[in-house]
Amino acid sequence: MADTPTPSDVTSLQIAGVDVDLASVLYALTYNHGRADVADQGSASSCTLTLQAPGLVLDSAQVGNTLTVEVVGLPAFAGDITDVVLTHPTVAAGDPVVAQYDLTAAGVLARSGVAPVGVDTWPTETAHDRALRVLADTALPAVVQGGGALSVLARDPDPTDALTALGELAADTGAALVDTPAGAVLLQYLDARSIGTVFTSWAQVVGSWAAFVGSWALVVEPVATPLLIPAGAVAFEPEWSSRLGGVVNDVSLSYGIAPDAGTQPTYTADDPVSVAARGRRHYGASTKLADLESAVWRTQLILSRQAEPRWTLGGVSVLMYLLNEWTKAAVVALQIGDRVALESLPDPAPTAPGFLVVEGWQDSHTPGSGYVRTFSLSDPRMSFAVVTWQGLVTNPVTWAQAQGTWVDLMTATDLTRAYAGYGYGPYGSGNYGTS
């Protein structure tokens, strides 16, 4: 720890609802939210806090008590203390005794691991409604985003905990299961990240362009502009990475109820272009999806996201103390699934859209180093957070002039190729699947 307190953007730190006087202590604070990668399911947020001062007494520093943090007046972490360590660092002869508290806390998602659910029969329902049903039994603050396109099977009474039930649901649907800085459980389905149009999401509309009448402009809706982070505040050497291990071009999903002495029906689909280029890379799972429509939707998501290698950008650290107050508050307010753009990325760089999707972050407030946020960012094509139609075609163009299907079109390049008649993407010439 440093010898003197360092000014910080932490505007409130409470233990069991009691304010800690930050002006009278030395402290170091780190917390994590979200997930490290778009392929991860997610986990509870975590926080480590060190407080140090001569004669410091924190009666509220007890396991099970709440810990909440606000930064620039906005929620940054909320959870429960899981571990407390009290030590007395060595001091020079004659100096007052120093007390040091090291606290570890877990976000509210961890509470769901001890919340009993499943004592009643659950009906066949959408994945959205199933999540709400599970979370209602926990009485935890919760947010469920998307999930209306998928149906899950009915379930007989079978007591379990909410974290297990939500984890199974996330695994079957590809949702992110995390908690929010304000202290709510968040289950975010991928369709919640899709750009808004007259349709729920592009992935749900799998017909060809020729089946639609009208022009591009008829289906465009405004999309929130990604938050621009200035180059002068980004302290990193860009590390783009792509891996073959993430490619999936052949999918088999079992769904529905198995007949007597039989097995669940299975839906299969592949991307022949990717198979020809990289060999067959299979993914199979037995799910609790209720019907063929849901299995088709989930399979299309997997192939659209993973049939081609995607790039990730790692180690993006933002020196928050260099941002102006408006931008700093906007960064603190970001949530999982939001969009950011990094100014002046150096060339060469992979061909990619002009923004990335926030998967998670780590915030560090340390003496002498100030406030730093390190992001986990993903390719927007992994989330269907893709480009808009605006600015792409200056004159109205009819659907019939483009080839391909909705789910093919993830970047400006894809759209241009489709308009030019290339039939770009896995479903332009793919095997749509069998059941």
User: Does any domain span residue 293?
Assistant: yes
User: Does any domain span residue 322?
Assistant: no
Q: Which domain holds residue 262?
A: 243-309
Check whether 121 has a pLDDT greater than 90.
yes
Which domain CATH number covers 188? 3.55.50
Domain boundary among 162, 193, 224: 193
Of the candidates 1, 111, 110, 97, the residue with the CA atom closest to the CA atom of residue 49: 1
User: Does any domain span residue 89?
Assistant: no
pLDDT band at 281 (very low <50, low <70, confident <90, very high): very high
Q: How many domains does the chain have?
A: 2
CB contact at 8 A, 146 and 187: no
User: Does any domain span residue 156?
Assistant: yes
Cis peptide before 348 (omega within 30 of 0): yes
Q: What is the pLDDT of residue 197?
A: 39
Q: Give the model confidence (pLDDT) of 204-262 as tens digits.
A: 444 555 555 454 444 444 346 789 999 889 986 778 888 898 899 999 999 999 988 78
DSSP 160-179: EEHHHHHHHHHHHHT-EEEE
Average confidence score pLDDT of the chain: 81
Same structural domain, 179 and 247: no
User: Does any domain span residue 402?
Assistant: no
Number of C-beta neighbours around residue 48 at 10 A: 15
Cα distance between residue 179 and residue 191, in whole Å: 18
User: Looking at per-residue confidence, does 301 or 249 come out higher?
Assistant: 249
Cα distance between residue 235 and residue 315, in whole Å: 9
User: Does any domain span residue 132?
Assistant: yes
Domain boundary among 193, 211, 227: 193
Of the candidates 304, 243, 245, 297, the residue with the CA atom closest to the CA atom of residue 273: 304
User: Does any domain span residue 46?
Assistant: no
Q: What is the pLDDT of residue 114?
A: 95
Question: Strand locations in 273-355, DSSP E?
Answer: 282-286, 312-319, 339-342
User: Does any domain span residue 392?
Assistant: no
Check whether 28 has a pLDDT greater than 60.
yes
SS3 content of the chain, % helix, strand, coil (to 5): 25, 30, 45
Domain boundary among 193, 214, 233: 193
Cα distance between residue 427 and residue 206, in whole Å: 9
